[in-house]
């Protein structure tokens, strides 16, 4: 129940919504109509639900709220990337990004307001975690970024990555519920294979995803190939060390067969030497069909790290490939508007 006394209508399942309509002496088929308006058509007000009578729309407006998110501020990068800050119904802000390439349009979405993990190279890690996002707030990001893709590119989203603000696996239920709506024929009907959930490494939740046989892909933000270094830059490693994570990822792959990627930000003089590449290759040999995305560090004012130069980066990649590791250099997009990897922090 909201402070206004109204119920959040998108918090109900279809069956629960039918029960609510029964209590209003309305037939179940009208609840199904409303459900379609909410999810498939992404209606943000009852007035938009033109297949309903005006009197019913007024009743619904009195009893329920639709706590949709709104575009607060939009920035356009020189490379075509679009970063949006979105305002939630309670006034908090989050950020999401549209990343266009020749053959893709990717939405990078947030799962929490702030973050509690304190990764040292990430601007969001220097914020407090205020709260988890609800499933509908995650869903709305995809809807709004898809709308931006249609307007700016003339084509819809092809991919969704949970790589924005927050740790998705610390908001597990809402993330899973949002993905269920995003992939459902009654929602956006985007293929699970086009969705990647990125985690800093919560081993028990990776195993839970395996047990539940999720259909989306997994990315692990590794960023260091030994525990001592990873403890320093990612304190979560102290409770979820590399051996534990490798076991969890093997279980995930065994149960789902889904793609797993290591994300690895190169920090100059910290984790980018030949010995680091050798150690990373050794970890890769322990996880089936693993791929590595090598990411350049994007400067943030809170941290003193610097970017690895091109020669050192290329040697790192060459070492991996000599060890038969599939590695890609992921170009950072939207750096000029603080929209690149590690830069989201509600600054603009």
Q: What is the CATH number of the domain that holds 31?
A: 1.10.150.530
Q: Is 108 a member of any domain?
A: yes
The pLDDT, as a whole number, for residue 335 is 60
Asked if the model's pLDDT at residue 261 lies above 90, the reply is: yes
What is the pLDDT, as a whole number, of residue 210? 98
Mean pLDDT (whole number) for 108-114: 94
Number of domains in the chain: 2
**pLDDT tens profile 311-336:** 999 999 999 999 999 999 987 666 65
Q: Which residue has the tokens 């693993």?
A: 290
Please identify, among 35, 65, 95, the residue that sits at the C-terminal boundary of a domain: 65
9-66 pLDDT per residue, tens = 999 999 999 999 999 999 999 999 999 999 999 999 999 999 999 999 999 999 999 9
Distance, CA of 267 to CA of 42 (rounded, Å): 41
Instruction: Say if CB 139 and CB 181 are below 8 A apart.
Output: yes
35 plus 127 within the same structural domain? no
Q: Same structural domain for residues 147 and 257?
A: yes
pLDDT of residue 130: 86
pTM, whole model, 2 decimals? 0.92
348 domain residue, yes or no:
no
Residue 337's pLDDT is what? 54
Determine, yes or no, domain membership for 114.
yes
The answer to whether residue 298 sits within a structural domain is: yes
Q: What is the pLDDT of residue 94?
A: 94
Same domain, 58 and 159: no
- The two tokens of residue 310 are 């091109």
138 in Cβ contact with 178 (< 8 Å): yes
Separation of alpha carbons 63 and 24, rounded Å: 10
Asked whether residue 141 is assigned to any structural domain, the reply reads yes
Q: Nearest-CA neighbor of 241 among 258, 254, 222?
A: 222
Active site residue 58: no
341: annotated active-site residue = yes
pLDDT for 136: 97
Q: Name residue, tokens 């109509």.
A: 33
Residue 43 lies in a domain: yes
Q: Are residues 17 and 82 in the same domain?
A: no
pLDDT band at 180, cuts 50/70/90? very high
Q: Give per-residue pLDDT as tens, 55-96.
A: 999 999 999 999 999 999 999 988 889 999 999 999 999 999
Residues 159 and 217 in one domain: yes
Selected catalytic residue, list 18, 95, 167, 263: 95
Q: Does residue 244 form part of some domain? A: yes
Between the alpha carbon of residue 312 and those of residues 42, 276, 307, 316, 333, the distances in Å are 47, 12, 10, 6, 21
Model confidence at 123, pLDDT cuts 50, 70, 90, reads: confident
Which pLDDT value is given to residue 111? 96
Residues 190 and 287 in one domain: yes
At residue 339, the pLDDT reads 53
Residues 115, 122, 284, 341: which is the catalytic one? 341
pLDDT value of position 46: 97
- 311 and 325 within one domain: yes
Domain of residue 255: give its range: 70-337
Q: Are residues 182 and 311 in the same domain?
A: yes
Please tell me whether residues 122 and 16 are part of one structural domain. no
Tens digit of each residue's pLDDT (9 = 90 or more) over 203-232: 999 999 999 999 999 999 999 999 999 999
348 pLDDT more than 60: no
User: Token pair for residue 60?
Assistant: 């619904």
Question: CATH number for the domain including 331?
Answer: 3.20.20.70
């Amino acid at each position: 129940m909201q402070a206004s006394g109204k119920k959040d209508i998108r918090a109900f399942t279809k069956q629960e919504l039918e029960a609510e309509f029964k209590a209003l002496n309305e037939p179940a088929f009208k609840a199904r109509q409303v459900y379609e308006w909410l999810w498939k058509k992404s209606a943000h007000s009852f007035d938009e639900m033109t297949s309903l009578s005006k009197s019913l729309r007024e009743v619904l407006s009195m009893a329920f709220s639709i706590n949709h998110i709104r575009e607060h501020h939009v920035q356009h990068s020189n490379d075509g990337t679009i970063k949006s800050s979105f305002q939630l119904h309670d006034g908090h802000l989050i950020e999401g990004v549209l990343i266009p390439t020749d053959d893709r349009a990717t939405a990078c979405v947030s799962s929490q307001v702030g973050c509690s993990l304190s990764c040292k190279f990430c601007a969001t890690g220097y914020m407090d975690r205020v709260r988890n996002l609800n499933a509908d707030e995650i869903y709305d990001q995809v809807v709004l970024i898809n709308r931006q893709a249609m307007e700016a590119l003339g084509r819809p989203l092809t991919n969704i990555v949970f790589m924005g603000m927050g740790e998705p696996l610390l908001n597990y239920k809402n993330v899973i519920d949002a993905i269920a709506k995003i992939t459902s024929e009654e929602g956006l009907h985007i293929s699970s294979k086009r969705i990647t959930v990125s985690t800093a490494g919560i081993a028990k939740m990776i195993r839970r995803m395996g047990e539940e046989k999720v259909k989306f892909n997994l990315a692990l933000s590794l960023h260091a190939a030994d525990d001592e270094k990873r403890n320093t830059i990612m304190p979560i490693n102290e409770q979820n060390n590399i051996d534990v994570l490798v076991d969890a990822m093997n279980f995930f792959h065994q149960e789902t067969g889904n793609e797993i990627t290591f994300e690895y930000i190169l920090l100059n003089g910290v984790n980018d030497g030949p010995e680091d590449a050798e150690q990373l290759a050794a970890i890769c040999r322990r996880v089936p069909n693993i791929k590595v995305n090598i990411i350049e560090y994007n400067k943030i004012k809170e941290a003193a790290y610097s970017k690895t130069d091109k020669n050192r980066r290329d040697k790192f990649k060459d070492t991996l490939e000599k060890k038969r590791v599939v590695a890609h250099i992921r170009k950072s997009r939207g750096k000029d508007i603080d929209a690149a990897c590690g830069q989201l922090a509600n600054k603009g």
